[in-house]
Structure formats: C-alpha cells, structure tokens
Amino acid sequence: MNLIFLGPPGAGKGTLASKAVEILKEALGAGHPHISTGAIFRSAIAEGTPLGLKVKAILDSGKLVDDQTTIDLVKERLARADVRGGYILDGFPRTIPQAEALAGFSRVDRALNFDIPDAAVLERLGGRRVCRKCGHNFHAVFDKPKQEGVCDHCGGEVYIRDDDRPEAVQKRLEVYRSQTAPLIDFYRGKGLLIDVDAGPPVNQVVENFKKALGIGI
C-alpha cells in the first residue's frame, strides 16, 4: 500500500511512521519503508554532501526546498526495489506541483491527514529531541530518553533540531498553511484522504491509524 502522511510540522508523522512500518509488516506481510524527505535532507547536511550544502540554510529558516530538487530526490528513491510492496512518504508531497509530479511516477493509495491543533504543535516541537545517529524522536516531557542526551536505541547523541527554534517553527507553520494544507482538498477530491486525530498520546494515535486503514478490526 502506498501511503502519504500529511499534517503540520510536529503533528507526529515521523513518530507514527516508525511504528506504522512494523504494523504494516505484520498486517500485510510486506515491507513499507519510511521515506522522510526532511530526514534525507538532514542526513545530507550532516554528511556535507552537495545537496546538504545547498539545502542547509533553507531548512534552518523553515522554508521549503525547491520543488524540482525534492521531486527528483523522491522519484529516484521510489525507483528502488524495496518499495515494491508499498511505502510511507512522510513530508512529501508538500506543494500542489509536488503532488502532481508524484501522480506522474507513482500510484497513491491513501493520504492520511494527521490533524492536530496549533497549540499542540508548539508543545510538541518545543520539547522535541532527536537522535543524531538513528533519527529516533524523543520528547523532553512525553517521551524522555532513559539517559539525558543519549539515544535509548543506538546510543547516539540526542539533540534539538535547528528548525525547532521558535522563529523557524512560526515560519514552518505559515508555509504549511499556505503551501501544504491545500493538499488536503487535493487528495479529498480524489477520494484518497483519511483524517486521523493526532492529538491524543502516541498509543491512541496508533489505534486511530489502524482504524483509518481498517487494520486489526
């Protein structure tokens, strides 16, 4: 099943996606790689590749990377064999031109819209901590690592993302409203949209996700 995760910054898309990989494997018996364009950009920045050098200032400011760069990246990723059984696209598409381009090179089965009020976004991003090595998400209040600053899963350094600074968060919310939220109607119009209440604690969001896809009911 080819899935798109839509929703504002901090809605919990990445957190849920890592759990959804396991859920889909068990329910459908097929691997569904979690493909996050944000994570691909952050890893390019960490490695100092030409792509990383090109996009660093854009990510730090909370603006979007240009459509063509992002589309080319996703097109190449979706050409790999591991997506044959399906995939989870987290953070792509983010503009109408990206969605139109995606329709030209891949089928979309469902677009899940993670719905959450702005106040919860600010609370989640304000406390987000991320492992620099494996990318696992923690939260300073809701989901602390056992040892401060150290990832429970791989022992990597847990840090605060540069784009979680308050001014960058405000910019990301503005960009989301003007450029990404129109995708909700885009996919609704195609009969592919499912709303998922992303406000409750993670375990409940997992149940909402399963219900949305008719898994385990």
Catalytic site positions: 13, 94, 128, 161, 172
Question: By CB under 6 A, how many residues form the interface with ligand AP5?
Answer: 36
Closest by CA to 62, choosing from 34, 89, 94, 18, is 94
Residue 4 CA, chain-centre distance (Å), reads 9
64 part of the interface to ligand AP5, by CB under 6 A: yes
Q: Say if CB 7 and CB 115 are below 8 A apart.
A: yes
Residue 163 C-beta: closest distance to ligand AP5, Å: 6
Distances (CA, A) of 146 to 14, 17, 133, 149, 158: 20, 22, 17, 9, 11
Contacts 24+ apart (CB under 8 A), 52-57: none
Closest by CA to 86, choosing from 13, 35, 18, 16, is 35
135 part of the interface to ligand AP5, by CB under 6 A: no
Residue 106 C-beta: closest distance to ligand AP5, Å: 14
- The stretch near ligand AP5 (CB under 6 A) out of 78-86, 121-129, 187-195, 208-216 is 121-129
Residue where the block lists tokens 């899963």: 153
Which of 32, 128 has the CB closer to ligand AP5?
Answer: 128
Residue-wise burial string across 187-201, b where 16 or more C-beta atoms lie within 10 A, e elsewhere: beeeeebbebebbee
136 part of the interface to ligand AP5, by CB under 6 A: no
**How long is the chain?**
217
Residue from the set 3, 34, 113, 137 that interacts with ligand AP5 by CB under 6 A: 137
Helix (H) or strand (E) holding 5: strand 2-6
Contact characters 175-214, ligand AP5, x per CB under 6 A = --------------------------xx--x---------
Residue 16 C-beta: closest distance to ligand AP5, Å: 7
94 part of the interface to ligand AP5, by CB under 6 A: yes
Contact characters 141-180, ligand AP5, x per CB under 6 A = -xx-------------------x--------x--------
- Using only C-alpha atoms, the chain has a radius of gyration, in whole angstroms, of 16
Which of 24, 113 has the CB closer to ligand AP5?
Answer: 113
Residues lying near ligand AP5 in the complex (CB under 6 A) are found at 7, 9-15, 36-38, 41, 58-59, 62-65, 70, 91-92, 94, 98, 124, 127-128, 137-139, 142-143, 163, 172, 201-202, 205
